[in-house]
Amino acid sequence: MALDQVEISVPTRRQIVPKKWALKGELFLNCSCETFCPCVVSLGKARPTEGYCHAWMAIRIDEGHFEGEDIGGLNVALLADIPGRMAEGNWSVAAYVDERATPAAYDGLLQIFSGVAGGTTGLFTMLVSDIFHAEQTKVDIETDGSKRRLNVGKKIQGEIETIGGLDPEKAVVITNSQYWMGPNIIAAQGTRSRVRDHGRMWDFGGKSAEICPIDWSGA
């Protein structure tokens, strides 16, 4: 199902129509920055280590709803192409939504991740200038101890692993942050990680990664 089939466009901030939604789960990502990405502490105001940010994100929804529609148990993946500082916007994004989503859940998830629905992700209406692709497909997310894996066919094949601290059995964690994802960010690093879609050929092995428990809502 293509984005235009559900008539969702990237809105301006004035076009947000608040909806009642909530989701809890985990988001993890791998980006093009050297470890550790400066965006977490600078809140996206620092320049990425490469001058731009290429990233994939995986969202595991353990429980959630959108306007009464159950979205629990679904997965979402995003490809993000950011030309400069994260906070300056102009993001180009592709969305891959779990093939198990009902039409109503698919529509709701696109509203959430485009910012249309307001709430926690409403800031996306200011940051995302182009959602150039959206589809329903198989989105596999796996949690394996200190590792996280995302597979979207041959398009995104990502694996990250947490970074140990003074106690190597415990991950380094940034706590009490004001980062958009949530206050507690687990530091990680890409192991086998690549994107091959829409002309993007990115490899993030050894690059910065993050894991964050999420509790988001709107209206």
34-51 confidence digits (pLDDT tens): 999 999 999 999 999 999
Q: Which stretch of DSSP H or E encloses residue 42?
A: helix 39-42
* CA-wise closest residue to 209 among 183, 194, 187, 193: 187
- Residue 150 lies inside a defined structural domain of this protein: yes
112 touches 66 (CB < 8 A):
yes
pLDDT tens track for 10-20 = 444 447 889 99
- Residue 141 lies inside a defined structural domain of this protein: yes
- Residue 213 lies inside a defined structural domain of this protein: yes
- Residue 115 lies inside a defined structural domain of this protein: yes
Give the integer Cα–Cα distance in Å for 98 and 151.
11
83 touches 54 (CB < 8 A):
no
- Residue 15 lies inside a defined structural domain of this protein: no
Q: Report how many domains make up the chain.
A: 1
Give the integer Cα–Cα distance in Å for 121 and 117.
8
Place of tokens 């529609």: 69
Give the integer Cα–Cα distance in Å for 173 and 165.
9
- Residue 88 lies inside a defined structural domain of this protein: yes
- Residue 13 lies inside a defined structural domain of this protein: no
pLDDT at 127 over 50: yes
Q: Exposed (0-12), middle (13-18) or buried (19+): which is 51, by Cβ within 10 Å?
A: exposed
Domain with 50, as residue range(s), is 3-8+20-218
187 touches 172 (CB < 8 A):
yes
| Local structure of residue 192 (DSSP, 8 states) | E
- pTM exceeds 0.75 for this model: yes
Q: What are phi and psi of 102, to 5 degrees?
A: -70, 165
Which residues sit opposite 31 in a β-bridge? 55
Average pLDDT over residues 203-213: 98
Specify the pLDDT at position 200: 97
- Residue 14 lies inside a defined structural domain of this protein: no
